[in-house]
Amino acid sequence: MRRIATVCSLIGVLLAATPLAAQDSSSAAGTGSEQKAPRRLLVVLEKGGLAPYSTDEMIILRRSFLTALADRDDAPTAIDFGSRPFPGSIGDRNKVARAAGADCWMVLRISGLGGSPSLNVQSYDLLYNLKTLDFSASRSEGFVMADIFRERWDDVIPSLLKKYPPLVSHVYDRGPPAPVPLTLRAVPGTVITGLSSSPVRVGADGTATVSLPSPAPYSFRAAATGYLPVRMSVYLDGPTELRISQDRSPWLRLDAAFLDGFFPGAAATFSLPSLPFFARLGYTSFRAGIAVNQDQITVSLPLSQVTLLLGIYLSPEDAGVRWYTGLGPLLRVSLPPGGGLTVDALVPAGLQVVGGLEIPLFGKLRTFLEYAPTVYYTPQSDLFKASFGEGNGTSPYLVVSPKVAIQPVEMRIGLRMGL
């Protein structure tokens, strides 16, 4: 009996000690890694435009949003601003958010018709003194008030989660952002925009230094004559030196294209890196193409077309869509079987107007699309009409008057590589 009592006493001591051991272990784990705290987000919902929602319905929508946000992992702690009017300026909004105990705020404005509402989101980070979100999203269906708490707000909440992850606690204790030097190394004369209210120019020594609040994220654009523009982002957390890698702008670009999607061609574009102007020499063959409105699949004509285009770029080289326009003459040549190379007798020449766009794919490769209405000189208009075949009259793609043939719809699509 004495042994049983002794064993029971030992078990009791172990059971009593287990919570203390677990507590000590938890404390040790806590001191070994930094604890993260959720951000504190002031949430404001507003009605705008033609939104047909009543005051009570806006309250329901706001509660639905707060519930959906709270259901997400690592979501900011939401502070409900209620139905009060929110200030219009960022400075006043920041004051209200700080007074409410928030370190960031967001305004979700619901406008549009009930069947197709539009959502506009604006958000600001008080810790980094930075606007983080400003976007709109449209919906094809309205809110179903009877089932609103199933609403996930997937067009808004994921963006908030990316911008406001939990932070280690010492971030809250480091005070407001303090200016630190950011030194940039680039080609002399490079102009850097996006870091301050005025452009920063790289000096003759290849460096430029600007003081910026830190810690904070920044994005900027670096452009230099003769070089491709560069866009970069950096998270500044103390004095930093950054080298910008710049590639020379191509002076020659080669095209492989199809005229109207049916006839193959090639072109070479020459440009001056310091100017937006360009000159292009092009060649299109009608020897092998895809037939349209004919019985056969392919069509072969003993014709070729040489074009000269003088143009100007309307957009910068790093634009997501680069627009350009141009004007120039063309010459048509004929090489019939058994004959020599001659200028085409029916359509010897013309004038082409071009409006086009380039879209970057990767590296220096781009795809392009051009609209190129053309005016042709037709000295023998009767023979020109007859060349389309008996009963056809004129081609549906051409409007013919004496001495002139107008093709209002002509497209060119292809790939363009810079060298």
pLDDT recorded at residue 399: 66
Greatest extent of the chain over all pairs of C-alpha atoms, in Å? 128
Fold of 37-171: Rossmann fold (3.40.50)
pLDDT recorded at residue 50: 74
pLDDT recorded at residue 12: 46
The alpha carbon dihedral of 290, 293, 299, 303 has a sign of: negative
Dist. CA 78–CA 65, nearest whole Å? 10
What is the token pair recorded at 39?
A: 């951000």
**Domain 178-243 is classified in which CATH homologous superfamily?**
Immunoglobulins (2.60.40.10)
pLDDT recorded at residue 267: 95
CATH 3.40.50 residue window(s) in the chain: 37-171
Provide, for the chain, the percentages of residues in helix, strand and coil under a 3-state DSSP scheme, each rounded to the nearest 5: 20, 45, 40
Low-confidence ranges of the chain (pLDDT < 50): 1-32, 391-394
pLDDT recorded at residue 33: 55
Domain 252-418, CATH: 2.40.160.20
CATH 2.60.40.10 residue window(s) in the chain: 178-243
pLDDT recorded at residue 5: 43
The DSSP element (H or E) to which 271 belongs, if any, is strand 263-271
pLDDT recorded at residue 131: 87
CATH 2.40.160.20 residue window(s) in the chain: 252-418
Dist. CA 83–CA 347, nearest whole Å? 72
Does the reported pTM lie above 0.75? Answer: no
The alpha carbon dihedral of 273, 274, 277, 279 has a sign of: negative
What is the token pair recorded at 214?
A: 């830190």
DSSP structural state of residue 145: G
pLDDT recorded at residue 8: 44
